[in-house]
């Protein structure tokens, strides 16, 4: 059965416009849900494959799998994330750039979790382990202002004990 062009309007005013096959959005199309616009390849009425999503203060471009983000670039406010997603939150390897600096490393459930590196704008760098968004376990901090290096164990984002300075 060939694709045809169609438009479906929901009772709430949200609509799909694009390729239709078997009475559903299949192929290239656009779905508008209020101020959020989804554009790309659809499969059974959800984004699947390359696509993009634009809302009030964010823009995502990348790969979708059955309606959920899998990998791509998300710009929200002044922040930019590039990497993996699971259930639409940061997951796996990625890079997050914020007003403070740039983190490159592992994410789990939207937080820094596993090994990563954070580079502050003042030249300071932390390399080490994170847990639930905080420095946790072995790590090394380079102070960009004093040019000193401190190695040690971190707990909940704070150096435990004296650490070893160089």
**pLDDT, tens digit, 9 for 90 and up, residues 63-103:** 999 999 999 999 999 999 999 999 999 999 999 999 999 99
CB 113 within 8 A of CB 125: no
Question: At residue 50, does pLDDT exceed 90?
Answer: yes
pTM for this structure?
A: 0.91
pLDDT at 2: 66
Contact predicate 51/41, CB 8 Å? yes
CA dihedral 145, 149, 153, 154 (to 10 degrees): 10
* pLDDT attached to residue 166: 83
Instruction: Please give the pLDDT value at position 20.
Output: 96
Percent of the chain predicted with pLDDT > 90: 93
Q: Return the pLDDT at 1.
A: 60
Q: How confident is the model at residue 108 (pLDDT cuts 50, 70, 90)?
A: very high
Average pLDDT, the chain: 96
Would you give the end-to-end CA distance of the chain in angstroms?
Answer: 70
- Closest by CA position to 99, among listed 74, 76, 129, 83: 76
């Amino acid at each position: 059965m060939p694709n045809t062009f169609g438009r479906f309007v929901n009772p709430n005013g949200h609509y799909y416009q694009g390729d239709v096959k078997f009475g559903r959005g299949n192929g290239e199309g656009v779905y508008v849900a209020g101020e959020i616009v989804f554009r790309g390849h659809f499969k059974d009425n959800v984004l699947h494959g390359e696509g993009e999503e634009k809302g009030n203060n964010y823009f995502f471009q990348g790969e979708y799998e059955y309606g959920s983000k899998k990998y791509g670039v998300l710009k929200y406010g002044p922040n930019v994330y590039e990497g993996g997603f699971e259930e639409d939150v940061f997951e796996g390897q990625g890079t997050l750039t914020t007003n403070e600096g740039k983190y490159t490393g592992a994410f789990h459930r939207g937080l820094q979790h596993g090994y990563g590196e954070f580079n502050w704008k003042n030249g300071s760098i932390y390399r080490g382990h994170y847990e639930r968004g905080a420095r946790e376990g072995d790590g090394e901090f380079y102070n960009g202002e004093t040019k000193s290096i401190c190695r040690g164990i971190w707990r909940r984002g704070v150096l435990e004990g004296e650490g070893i300075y160089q």
